[in-house]
Amino acid sequence: MPLNATSAAILSHLNASAPDMSAIGPVEFRAYSAQMVQPADPADRIVTHDVDAGGVPARIYRRAEAGAAEPVLVFYHGGGYIACGIDSHDRLCHRLARLAGCAIVSVDYRLAPEHVFPAAVDDALTALRWVAAHGADHGLDTSRIAVGGDSAGGTLATVTAIRARDEGGPAIRHQLLFYPGADMVGETASAREFGQGYFLDKDFSELCISAYIADPADRAHPWASPLRTPDLSGLPPATIMTPECDPLRDEGDHYAQALRGAGVPVDYTVYPGVFHGFVSMFGVVAEADQALNDAAAALGTALGTAAGTGRE
């Protein structure tokens, strides 16, 4: 189906106000995107505090009423490896922590072009290991850890799960991947169909990848293109969510198929009529609210919180 009416209206506004990607660089885009940060909803009743996660800035989110240690989602934000950060995804992390009934640690990994691949990948693993080693000091149940993220952050989440499997842990219970990139080399039907005018334009993607990957040969590296990982077996179960009108839709589909082929349980959902980045539009786009509810249920089941058991 085409974009629904709400998504079409939002996309029309975004396209009209977006800068010319042929005349802007990564740092300029970062400044532009920072203007679109929205405040969190106080009704979520989330308490936050910032920490140094082994040299990587991070923010911990816990429900105001939480007493005992809570299981935790280590979250990596999107932004094409060149933009966004803790503040851009603050509203999303507030809501997801509330719905899922778990703590969240949002990771402010280094950005390109100042810090090229694999800086973000290394920061992602460093932060995860800090959570496992020191999270108990901050009210986190480090025996129940999930990883997740959106777009580039979804890629970092699954790459971190792969590295944790291969490099001595820590143990991860689940992967929550919102429209992750899975292959920087191949081209899919959805990339051709939605590569222009659907928010994540082909030119913008190339801007991001070129800034992030200094050596073009590294685009095929499994840490940049997890679909090219030789062995995906033994990874934690995954929830993968993609919008229908997204250049990355088929990458999410192909990655889900590859994980299943390796024996990894996967719940893969395509949300109709919406475009890349839609999950952050909860409260306006109905599919975003549905996706967050679905994500919360998946996390709740994996981490053993009320969101997964039906308890109030």
Q: pLDDT per residue over 216-256, tens digit each?
A: 999 999 999 999 999 999 999 999 999 999 999 999 999 99
CA distance 241 to 253: 9
User: 210, exposed or middle or buried, with CB in 10 Å at 0-12, 13-18, 19+?
Assistant: middle
Residue 199 belongs to a domain with what CATH number?
3.40.50.1820
Residues with a catalytic annotation lie at: 151, 246, 276
Strands 56-63 and 103-107: antiparallel
The pTM (predicted TM-score) of the whole model is 0.96
- pLDDT higher than 90, residue 68: no
Count of domains for the chain: 1
CA distance 274 to 74: 26
Which has the closest alpha carbon to 89: 178, 3, 183?
178
What pLDDT does residue 36 have? Answer: 83
Q: Which of 97-111, 267-281, 295-309 has the lowest mean pLDDT?
A: 295-309
Residues in the chain: 312
- pLDDT higher than 60, residue 214: yes
Residues 6+ apart with CB under 8 A from 303: 71, 73, 100, 102, 144, 146, 173, 174
Rounded mean pLDDT, 28-36 = 88
End-to-end CA distance of the chain: 36
Domain extent at residue 99: 5-309
- pLDDT higher than 80, residue 99: yes
Which has the closest alpha carbon to 224: 183, 267, 266, 171?
183
Rounded mean pLDDT, 141-170 = 98
Report the greatest alpha carbon distance in the chain: 52
- CB atoms < 10 A from the CB of 180, how many? 30
